[in-house]
Amino acid sequence: MGNNISEVKDEDGFLLLKCMSYNIRFNNPDDKGPASWMYRRSGLADVVKKFEPDLLGCQEVLQDQLDFIQEELGESYTHVGKPREYNRQTKEYWGTTCGQINFNIF
């Protein structure tokens, strides 16, 4: 679990783009106590809201986690990405959540 934030500035030092990556670690039912998603999820929301990245890249995201992220960040962010399937019941999402400014998605 961790995050990294980068900023892209122009030659005059004006901020053009703020990007964040966050490995949220999948919601493992075997995790107990502070390692469980129930306890980690508010920290994710707090960090994203604090830094307000234009692009947020997440790894190891399961459907319930994606639902939480979208609910917490509201309509100002949009998820872009496709899941990969471990089996017919489990899909892990990777991708980018875009927000704050307009992006053309290809």
Q: How large a percentage of the chain has pLDDT more than 70?
A: 76
Strand boundaries in 24-105, DSSP class E: 55-62, 77-80, 83-85, 91-99
> Does position 3 have pLDDT exceeding 70, yes or no?
no
pLDDT tens for 5-38 read 677 778 887 877 888 888 888 888 899 998 899 9
Q: Which amino acid is at 10?
A: D
pLDDT at 95: 63
CATH topology assigned to domain 2-99? Deoxyribonuclease I; Chain A (3.60.10)
The average confidence (pLDDT) of the chain is 79
pLDDT at 9: 77
Enumerate the domain spans of the chain. 2-99
How would you classify the pairing of strands 77-80 and 15-23?
unpaired
Residue 58 phi, psi dihedral angles, 5° rounding: -120, 150
pTM confidence score = 0.74
